[in-house]
C-alpha cells in the first residue's frame, strides 16, 4: 500500500520519543518521597471523567477481560472524549474509530460502515440488541465500543463487519452532580444533566441522566428536537446479590435530509445549504421506551451468575421528499417521495454463568449462557404521488438552480409497497473457554447455536412466509504475550445474516429456503499498553462474504448462492495520555474491498465496495497548559469513496481540522469552545446512493458550559 502523509505521521507518532519515554515512566524520575500519614483527606471540586483509554471490556467476551487479552480489534470512545469534543451523536464518535465509516442513512438513522459492510441494525446497548433504525444520542453514555469483525458467539446473528455497543451510565452508589449547556452555530441549543447519589451503605444508589435539544443546522429548512431521560437504580437484595434497574424514554424529531444529487460522476456544484426536495414534508419521529433489569449473584469467589432482561418498545416514522437523477440537458432534478412506519417490540433475556477454575497449571474462565428473544414488527410503506388525488405521477422535475419545492405529495400504498407483520424468535446457547496456559500464552475457544425463526405476513394479500435457521457460530483466538504489556494474537470468527435481513422484513417465498449469508473473519494483530493510560493497537484482517443470492444465469426462475465480496485491511489505533498534560485518540485504516462475483447489472465483479475509503485517518489531541487552561486540535482525513457499488459517482477525499479551547473558571465551572472545520473545508461527508450525497459541515463553533455541583 502507498504511504500517505497521514499514515506516516501516525506511525511516527507511535514511535515518537514522547511515547518511548511514556513506556518507561521510571526513567530519569526522582526517587519516591517518604509516605506521610494523614488523618483525613477531603477532595472538593470537579469529579473528572475517565481518560481517553479504557483498560477492560465485558462486551467482547461477556467476561471482564483486559483489552490486551482480547484477540479482536476493539475501539472504545469514552465519555471523556465525548465531552471534550461536544459530541451529540454516534456519528461524531465514529470519526475516531479506525476502520469505521459513516453512510447517510437517508437522514433518519445511524448507518456505520464496518470493514466495508454498512448496517442499520448492528447496535447494542449494554450488550442487548437495539436494532431499530433511529439516530442515537450520547447523553447517557459511559462509552461506545466498536467491536470489529463478525462475532456471533457474543452477539448472535448479524454483525457482518462488527457491532457498535453503547455502555450506559448506571447508579453506582457514588455522587454525581453535573450539567451542561451548549449553544452555537446552526442555532444549537442543548442541555444535559447527570445527577445521582448513594443511598445508605452497600453501594445502593440512584442516577438520572437527561437531555433536551432544539437545534437547526447549516442546511436550509433543517431542524432537530430531541429529549430523553434515563433513571437507573442499583441495590443489593442479599449479600453477593445485586439488582440494577433502568428505564429510558427517548424521543427524536428531525427533518430527513438526503443531501444533494450528482452530475457527471460527482456531487452537483451548489451551495452547501441548498435543500433538494421539501423539508416541510420530510419529518422524522422516533420514540424509544426501554426497561432493563440486571441481576448478578456471586455464588463464591470464582462463580458468578448474571441475568439481563430488556423490554423495548420502538415507534418510528419517517417521510421524505428527496432528489433523484439529474437531467444534464434540461438542468432539472427528479423529486420523489415515500414514507415508512415501523413499530417494534423487543423482548430479550440473557443469562451468563462465569466460572473461574484451574486444571493443574492451566487457568480457565468458562462462560456458559443462553439467550431468548422475541421481536414483533409492524411495517408499512406508502408512495408519494404528485398532482390531484388519484394521480399516478410518482416524481416531478424541478430546476437544478432552485430545487427546494413546495409541492406536497399525497401518500397511498402502491402494489409493491410493504405492509407486513412479522414475528422473529431466537433461542440460543453458547459455551466459551478463556484458557491461560502460562503468563505468555492464552486462548479463547467458543461455540454458539442459534435457533432463529421468522414468520412474516403480508397484510395486503394475506400471504405468509416462514423461515427457520440453525446457526452454528464458532470463535477461536490465540494470544501470545512476550511482555506483560504486549500481546500478539490471531483469531477466526464468523457470523450469519438470515434471509429476513437485518430489519426482519426481507423474507420472500423465493428466498425463504436459502441458507443465510455468511461472514468469515481472519485476523492477526498486536496490542501494547505503552503505559497504564496509553494504548496502541494494530490489526490486519480479511473478511469474506458468502452465500449471496443471485439469479441463476442459466435459469431466471431460480436463485443460486455465490461468494459476494472480500475486504482486506490494516487498522492502527492509539488512545490515552502521552504525558500528564497531553491526551490523544485516533488511528489509521487501509481498506481494500471488492465485489468477487457479479451479482447484478450494477454489482459487477471487480467493482470496489461502496463508501469504503482506501485510506482514512484521524487524530485528536488535548493539551492542558495548566490546571485552568487547555487546548485541543484534531485532524480527520478520508480518502475518496464511491457512493454506490456501481462505482459511477465519487465523493472526493478531504482533510479537515477541528479545534477546542478549555477554560476552568473554578472547580465547579468549565467553559469550552469547540470549532469544527477550522479551515472551512468544503467536502462531502457521506452518501446513501448516487443521488443522495451529504455535504460536510462548514466552519462551526459551539460554546459549552459544564457545571459540577
Give the separation between CA 51 and CA 383, rounded to whole angstroms: 49
Give this prediction's pTM: 0.92
Secondary structure class of 608 (helix, strand, coil): strand
Q: Helix, strand, coil: what percent of the chain each, to 5?
A: 5, 60, 35
CA of residue 35 relative to chain centroid, distance: 46
Looking at residue 552, what is its pLDDT? 86
CATH fold of the domain at 52-708: Maltoporin; Chain A (2.40.170)
392 phi and psi, to 5 degrees?
-110, 15
- Within 10 Å of residue 579's Cβ, how many Cβ atoms? 14
Residue extents of the structural domains in the chain: 52-708
Q: Nearest-CA neighbor of 146 among 637, 539, 481, 445?
A: 539
Is residue 166 within 8 A of residue 144, CB to CB? The reply is: yes
CA 455 to chain CA centroid, nearest Å:
28
Question: Cell 464468523 belongs to which residue?
Answer: 494
Please count the other Cβ atoms lying within 10 Å of the Cβ belonging to residue 566.
18
Please give the sequence-ordered ranges of beta strands (E in DSSP) within 578-683, or none if there are none: 582-595, 615-624, 629-638, 641-642, 650-651, 654-666, 669-676
Question: Looking at residue 221, what is its pLDDT?
Answer: 97
Q: 619: number of CA atoms within 13 Å, CB side?
A: 16
| DSSP character at residue 10 | H
Burial of 286: CB neighbours in 10 Å, binned 0-12, 13-18, 19+: buried
Q: Are 465 and 418 in contact (CB under 8 A)?
A: no
Per-residue pLDDT, 21:
41
Q: Which residues contact 434 (CB under 8 A, 6 or more apart)?
A: 61, 63, 65, 69, 364, 365, 366, 367, 442, 443, 444
Sign of CA dihedral 549, 550, 554, 558: positive
User: Given this model, what pLDDT does residue 201 score?
Assistant: 80
Of 383, 388, 384, 386, the closest CA to residue 414 belongs to 383
Residue 683 is predicted with a pLDDT of 98
Question: What pLDDT score does 556 carry?
Answer: 84
Q: What is the pLDDT of residue 29?
A: 42
pLDDT score recorded for residue 553: 85
What's the chain's length in residues? 709
H or E element: which one contains 5? Answer: helix 5-14
Reduce the DSSP state of residue 561 to 3 states and report it.
strand
Q: Are 335 and 283 in contact (CB under 8 A)?
A: no
Which residue numbers in the chain have pLDDT < 50? 1-33, 38-49
> Order of strands, edge to edge, in the sheet holding 123-125?
74-78, 141-148, 162-168, 123-125, 128-129
Q: Cell 442516577 sits at which residue? A: 207
* Residue bearing cell 409541492: 407
- Cα separation, 550 vs 517, in Å, equals 12
C-alpha cell belonging to residue 635: 485532524
Which among 141, 149, 123 has a CA at the least distance from the CA of 346? 123
Cell 504511504 belongs to 3
Residue 238 forms beta bridges with which residues? 241
Q: How far apart are CA 196 and CA 206, in angstroms?
A: 5
Amino acid at each position: 500500500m502507498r504511504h500517505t502523509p497521514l499514515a506516516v505521521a501516525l506511525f511516527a507518532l507511535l514511535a515518537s520519543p514522547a511515547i518511548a519515554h511514556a513506556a518507561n515512566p521510571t526513567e530519569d524520575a526522582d526517587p519516591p518521597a517518604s509516605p506521610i500519614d494523614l488523618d483525613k483527606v477531603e477532595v472538593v471540586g470537579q469529579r473528572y471523567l475517565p481518560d481517553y483509554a479504557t483498560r477492560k471490556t465485558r462486551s467482547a467476551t461477556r467476561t471482564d477481560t483486559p483489552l490486551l487479552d482480547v484477540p479482536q480489534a476493539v475501539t472504545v470512545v469514552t465519555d471523556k472524549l465525548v465531552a471534550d469534543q461536544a459530541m451529540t451523536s454516534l456519528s461524531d464518535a465514529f470519526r475516531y474509530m479506525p476502520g469505521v465509516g459513516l453512510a447517510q442513512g437517508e437522514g433518519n438513522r445511524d448507518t456505520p460502515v464496518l470493514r466495508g459492510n454498512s448496517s442499520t441494525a448492528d447496535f447494542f446497548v449494554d450488550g442487548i440488541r437495539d436494532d431499530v433504525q433511529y439516530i442515537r444520542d450520547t447523553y447517557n453514555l459511559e462509552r461506545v465500543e466498536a467491536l470489529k469483525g463478525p462475532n456471533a458467539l457474543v452477539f448472535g446473528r448479524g454483525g457482518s463487519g462488527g457491532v457498535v455497543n453503547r455502555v450506559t451510565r448506571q447508579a453506582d452508589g457514588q455522587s454525581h452532580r453535573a450539567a451542561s449547556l451548549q449553544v452555537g452555530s446552526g442555532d444549537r441549543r442543548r442541555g444535559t444533566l447527570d445527577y445521582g447519589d448513594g443511598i445508605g451503605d452497600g453501594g445502593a444508589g440512584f442516577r438520572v441522566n437527561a437531555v433536551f435539544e432544539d437545534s437547526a443546522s447549516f442546511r436550509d429548512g433543517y431542524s432537530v428536537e430531541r429529549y430523553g431521560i434515563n433513571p437507573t437504580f442499583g441495590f443489593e437484595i442479599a449479600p453477593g446479590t445485586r439488582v440494577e434497574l433502568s428505564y429510558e424514554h427517548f424521543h427524536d424529531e428531525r427533518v430527513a435530509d438526503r443531501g444533494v444529487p450528482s452530475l457527471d460522476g460527482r456531487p452537483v456544484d451548489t451551495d452547501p445549504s441548498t435543500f433538494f426536495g421539501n423539508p416541510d414534508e420530510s419529518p422524522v419521529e422516533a420514540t424509544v421506551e426501554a426497561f432493563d433489569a440486571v441481576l448478578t449473584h456471586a455464588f463464591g469467589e470464582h462463580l458468578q451468575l448474571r441475568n439481563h432482561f430488556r423490554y423495548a418498545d420502538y415507534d418510528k416514522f419517517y417521510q421524505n421528499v428527496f432528489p433523484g437523477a439529474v437531467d444534464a440537458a434540461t438542468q432539472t432534478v427528479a423529486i420523489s417521495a415515500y414514507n415508512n412506519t415501523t413499530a417494534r417490540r423487543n423482548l430479550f433475556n440473557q443469562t451468563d454463568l462465569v466460572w473461574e477454575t484451574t486444571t493443574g497449571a492451566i487457568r480457565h474462565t468458562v462462560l456458559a449462557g443462553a439467550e431468548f428473544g422475541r421481536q414483533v414488527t409492524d411495517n408499512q410503506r406508502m408512495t408519494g404521488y404528485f398532482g390531484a388525488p388519484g394521480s399516478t405521477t410518482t416524481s416531478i422535475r424541478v430546476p437544478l438552480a432552485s430545487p427546494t419545492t413546495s409541492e406536497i405529495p399525497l401518500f397511498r400504498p402502491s402494489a409493491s409497497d410493504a405492509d407486513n407483520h412479522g414475528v422473529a424468535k431466537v433461542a440460543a446457547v453458547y459455551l466459551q473457554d478463556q484458557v491461560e496456559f502460562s503468563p505468555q500464552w492464552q486462548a479463547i475457544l467458543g461455540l454458539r447455536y442459534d435457533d432463529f425463526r421468522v414468520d412474516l405476513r403480508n397484510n395486503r394479500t394475506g400471504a405468509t412466509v416462514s423461515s427457520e435457521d440453525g446457526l452454528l457460530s464458532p470463535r477461536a483466538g490465540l494470544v501470545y504475550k512476550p511482555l506483560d504489556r504486549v500481546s500478539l494474537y490471531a483469531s477466526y470468527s464468523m457470523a450469519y445474516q438470515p434471509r429476513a435481513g437485518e430489519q426482519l422484513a426481507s423474507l420472500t417465498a423465493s428466498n425463504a429456503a436459502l441458507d443465510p449469508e455468511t461472514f468469515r473473519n481472519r485476523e492477526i494483530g498486536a496490542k501494547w499498553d505503552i503505559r497504564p493510560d496509553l494504548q496502541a493497537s494494530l490489526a490486519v484482517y480479511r473478511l469474506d462474504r458468502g452465500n449471496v443470492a443471485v439469479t441463476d444465469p442459466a435459469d431466471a426462475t431460480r436463485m443460486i448462492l455465490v461468494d459476494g465480496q472480500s475486504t482486506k485491511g490494516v487498522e492502527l489505533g492509539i488512545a490515552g495520555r502521552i504525558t500528564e498534560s497531553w491526551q490523544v485518540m485516533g488511528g489509521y485504516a487501509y481498506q481494500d474491498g471488492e465485489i468477487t462475483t457479479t451479482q447484478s447489472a450494477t454489482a459487477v465483479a471487480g467493482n470496489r465496495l461502496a463508501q469504503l475509503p482506501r485510506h482514512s485517518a484521524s487524530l485528536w489531541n488535548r493539551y492542558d497548559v495548566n490546571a485552568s487552561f487547555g487546548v485541543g486540535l484534531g485532524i480527520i482525513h478520508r480518502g475518496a469513496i464511491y457512493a454506490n457499488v456501481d462505482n459511477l459517482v465519487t465523493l472526493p477525499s478531504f482533510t479537515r481540522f477541528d479545534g477546542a479551547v478549555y477554560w476552568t473558571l473554578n472547580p465547579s465551572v468549565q467553559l469550552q469552545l469547540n470549532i469544527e472545520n477550522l479551515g472551512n473545508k468544503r467536502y462531502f461527508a457521506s452518501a446513501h446512493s448516487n443521488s443522495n450525497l451529504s455535504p460536510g459541515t462548514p466552519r462551526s463553533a459551539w460554546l459549552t458550559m459544564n457545571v459540577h455541583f
